[in-house]
Chain A
């Protein structure tokens, strides 16, 4: 899908899949096109070119029915604050043609832990409770597709954890969940796959773990010895040092290798032959943040 606003291209030939029972994180910096993508999929914004297919329905041809299949949560709760939670959910249940609104509302408030405040005005809710109410609204018609656009913005850590558990439980109910975020920690914790978008283009897509471990495995060793002699020995052993730092008489070296079994053995032998003492050798795990930043840098180059 492509979406232009006048001469500005917000999204350019973006294509990805979110399957049921899967959480896909759409990652990207501010203004990358994440919100535009979620709004196209939600059926509230038509693509300028291309199409989005939601539960077998084309957004371009059947936006009305697509909207009935999606639940959308935005970064701001966007509630009618003069209404009570009960009347607010009842209103949206009727808009979505929910057959038994009362039963569904009771079920939802139980799930979200909002039963005690069902008849309280939304204006009196805390930020976290408002966001829960917004999620309840998005779930009121039991949509098979859930679009979460920065849902944890401004939530405290406890509420963020509750939200995370809720999202994971919704995946277990076989919903397709698209999580638009720039919170990489959140994405790393719960997403099955990651789609990285920058300046309207998709620059990488893959399983979260694959993306994290992409690139050559990296190792870090802490040593005591002469740096110059160790470097010479490692070069002779065919191991290229990517980074080094020294503090309190301890030397830290980093290297990458495509064959750890062979090259790490050679590296350690060379280090010991150079008269150094080895304190530790660790495999470095790349965080999603490292991978994301590397991918964004690469795409901009």
Chain B
């Protein structure tokens, strides 16, 4: 695990040493705040819905940019052939996969937390603390944060599979965009269905997503396997 953390630390520094990546992350933190502040109309119930929807965006948008940056960085490592020295080091395949997943997950989770808190402060200032606290109580905020982490894990794992298969950074980012888009549609559909589904089916959906995560991680581990990676270099 120490080596996985070491790898994750290097990847995170590498990703965010690029000023463009930082600016993109800040933009996605600021975007939901801007959107909610611009949507003052629509009546009391309409405004509640907008605040909730913007809070969801605040949780998820920064994770999307982190995933996209990560997708590019995986493929970049193959392009620059920096994978060979890494694979030649005494580090297990599982540490490589775990390190790379942590490099996606940790900044995404941190950005999501910052974004949620910033959104809560901005919305409270604009619409009153009482209203925002009623809508975004502690449970909802933790729930949104957990959703962001869960979303990042799912998309991150699948993006790793994609990234391990493609040869260029640009292709990886384009495909990651499709994966992200697909995941957002799937998440919205599941969200609307969950309201009317019985509890057993809700649990079933969660188990299915978890199974998909595990499947993606196993695929990612296999594709990052030294044999596979070296054969493709």
Contacts and interface: CB of A to CB of B under 8 A. Distances in A.
B88 to A, nearest CB: 4
Contacts of A94: 3, 6
The 6 closest A-B pairs by CB, nearest first: A68-B90, A72-B88, A95-B89, A78-B81, A67-B90, A44-B87
Interface residues of A, number: 30
B226 A45 contact: yes
Nearest to B6: A94
A64 B81 contact: no
A16 interface: no
Given A64-B90, A65-B90, A78 B82 contact: yes
A46 B85 contact: no
Interface string A237-280: 00000000000000000000000000000000000000000000
B219 to A, nearest CB: 20
A80 B76 CA distance: 10
B80 interface: yes
A230 interface: no
A39 B227 CA distance: 10
A82 interface: yes
A94 B230 CA distance: 23
Given A80-B10, A95-B3, A67 B82 contact: no
Nearest to A82: B17
Interface in B1-18: 3, 6-7, 10, 13-14, 17-18
20 contacts: A5-B231, A42-B88, A44-B230, A45-B227, A64-B92, A68-B90, A74-B81, A76-B81, A79-B82, A82-B13, A82-B18, A83-B10, A83-B14, A94-B6, A95-B3, A95-B89, A95-B90, A95-B91, A97-B90, A138-B85
A92 B159 CA distance: 26
Nearest to B17: A82
Contacts of A45: 226-227, 230-231
B84 A74 contact: yes
Contact of B10 (A43, A46, A91): A91
Chain B: interface residue count, which band? 20 to 34
B6 to A, nearest CB: 5
Given A44-B84, A45-B230, A138-B85, 7 more contacts: A45-B227, A45-B231, A64-B92, A82-B14, A94-B6, A95-B7, A95-B90
B90 A96 contact: yes
Q: Is the interface of B mostly helix, strand, loop or mixed?
A: helix
A27 interface: no
A86 interface: no
B1 to A, nearest CB: 13
B14 A80 contact: yes
A78 B86 CA distance: 10
A94 B8 CA distance: 13
A78 B84 contact: yes
A136 B18 CA distance: 26
B59 to A, nearest CB: 29
A43 B226 CA distance: 9
A64 B91 CA distance: 7
Interface in B42-76: none
A25 interface: no
Nearest to B14: A82
Interface in A264-299: none
Of B83, B84, B85, B90, most buried by chain A (CB within 10 Å of CB) is B85
Contacts of A211: none
Contacts of B18: 82
B80 A78 contact: yes
Nearest to A70: B88
